[in-house]
A and B are shown apart, each in its own frame.
Chain A
Amino acid sequence: GDSVTQMEGPVTLSEEAFLTINCTYTATGYPSLFWYVQYPGEGLQLLLKATKADDKGSNKGFEATYRKETTSFHLEKGSVQVSDSAVYFCALSSGNTGKLIFGQGTTLQVKP
């Protein structure tokens, strides 16, 4: 079945460092891909999405490109801030139901 694999955390970075969180997927058909973020004490919220191959999603300085050839959707940010500390989830939606399949999440901790 469809699945999502994320790099294991926690990831610890200093402020202004470059961030990459790897995400690869397995799916039949042509899924949409999402990154959700969960800040401490808050609910899941959409960070960005891409709905077809070669699309780039971006928001709040974060970017991810839908790479069909490598079945990947890696999350990047050029300069992280302490306020980016959170758990990041990669997810896909395939088929006609809209059901989301999530990766296990990657915890990011940014130190000043």
Chain B
Amino acid sequence: EAGVAQSPRYKIIEKRQSVAFWCNPISGHATLYWYQQILGQGPKLLIQFQNNGVVDDSQLPKDRFSAERLKGVDSTLKIQPAKLEDSAVYLCASSLVGTRGTDTQYFGPGTRLTVL
């Protein structure tokens, strides 16, 4: 079974530029999550999708971050414009149902973003 795929693995940009990350969850998983992991910290949820609807985006800085999951499968997270403090690893995860707190989330390898 293929795992969660993410691309690119690494990205370096200048501040005020834009960047996009892509995630393809495990086949059949209804719920998709984007987390931000700053160096030395645990991951923090940015946004959660159930199929193609948003369940939770309360921690997403909506003035610069956007995300979509148009067909309920893969997803794109965008930052425009980027700030220095956006330097982090962006993790995508998926789970079979998700709205049950007992479900296991499966994580992709992450995209390491460096903003100069």
Could you list which residues of chain A lie within 8 angstroms of chain B, going by C-beta atoms? 4, 31-32, 36, 42-46, 49, 51, 89, 91, 93-105
Q: Is B45 positioned at the interface, with any CB of A under 8 Å from its CB?
A: yes
Number of A-B contacts (CB under 8 A): 71
* Contacting pair A105 B95 (CB below 8 A): no
Of B60-68, B72-80, B96-104, the one with at least 4 CB within 8 A of chain A: B96-104
Q: How far is the CA of A96 from the CA of B100 in the complex (A)?
A: 6
| Choice from A4, A45, A97 contacting B56 with Cβ under 8 Å | A97
* Contacting pair A43 B107 (CB below 8 A): yes
Could you list which residues of chain B lie within 8 angstroms of chain A, going by C-beta atoms? 4, 31, 33, 35, 40-45, 48, 55-56, 91, 93, 95, 97-110
A contact residues around B106 at 8 Å (CB): 46
Q: How far is the CA of A36 from the CA of B48 in the complex (A)?
A: 19
B contact residues around A42 at 8 Å (CB): 109
A contact residues around B56 at 8 Å (CB): 97, 99
* Contacting pair A94 B42 (CB below 8 A): no
* Closest partner residue, chain B, to A100 (CB atom): B105
* Contacting pair B107 A44 (CB below 8 A): yes
* Closest partner residue, chain A, to B104 (CB atom): A46
* Contacting pair B107 A102 (CB below 8 A): no
Q: How far is the CA of A36 from the CA of B35 in the complex (A)?
A: 14
| Choice from A91, A98, A104 contacting B48 with Cβ under 8 Å | A98
| Choice from B40, B44, B103, B110 contacting A43 with Cβ under 8 Å | B110
Given the contacts A89-B42, A93-B101, A97-B56, A43 and B48 also touching, CB distance less than 8 Å: no
Q: Which 3 A-B pairs have the closest CB atoms?
A: A102-B42, A44-B107, A93-B101
CB distance from A33 to the nearest CB of B (A): 10
